[in-house]
């Protein structure tokens, strides 16, 4: 009976003081706090990711707007370049015509001066 009394006494002490129930409650509380801490960590990490996504969206929007502005400016510059090339071609044609007229008049003057020299002789 010695062993039985010892085991019975031990069980009475453990169950009588509520040690087992206290231990289980403490364990559940610890697990709950750990879960809350983990959830808080995940929430903070989610917040950081959300801010990163918002920053990337802002950056992408800025880049898109900048790209669109550059495309518009590029189109305007190409249009202006075409107009300037057209004007240059027109001016080159005018210069060519003026040179032809000048050459003709130079030949006329030369022929007139030659005729005057021959008439004087």
Higher-confidence residue of 10 and 17: namely 10
Look up the domain containing 29 and give its range: 2-120
Instruction: Give the number of domains in the chain.
Output: 1
**C-alpha distances out from residue 64 to 38, 55, 57, 67, 78, Å:** 38, 14, 10, 5, 21
Residue 73: CA atoms inside 13 Å, Cβ hemisphere, count? 6
pLDDT tens by residue, 48-105? 889 999 999 999 999 999 999 999 999 999 999 999 999 999 999 999 999 999 999 9
State the pLDDT at residue 16: 58
- Residue 121 pLDDT > 70: no
The pTM score is: 0.49
The whole-angstrom separation of Cα 96 and Cα 76 is 30
State the pLDDT at residue 9: 73
pLDDT tens by residue, 20-36? 566 666 777 777 777 78
State the pLDDT at residue 14: 60
- Residue 4 pLDDT > 60: yes
């Amino acid at each position: 009976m010695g062993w039985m009394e010892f085991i019975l006494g031990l069980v009475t002490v453990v169950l009588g003081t509520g040690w087992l129930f206290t231990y289980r409650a403490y364990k559940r509380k610890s697990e709950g706090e750990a879960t809350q801490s983990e959830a808080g960590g995940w929430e903070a990490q989610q917040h950081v990711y959300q801010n990163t996504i918002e920053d990337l969206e802002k950056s992408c929007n800025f880049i898109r707007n900048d790209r669109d502005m550059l495309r518009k400016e590029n189109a305007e510059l190409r249009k202006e370049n075409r107009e300037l090339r057209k004007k240059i071609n027109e001016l080159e044609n005018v210069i060519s015509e003026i040179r032809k007229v000048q050459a003709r008049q130079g030949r006329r003057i030369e022929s007139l001066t030659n005729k005057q020299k021959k008439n004087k002789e």
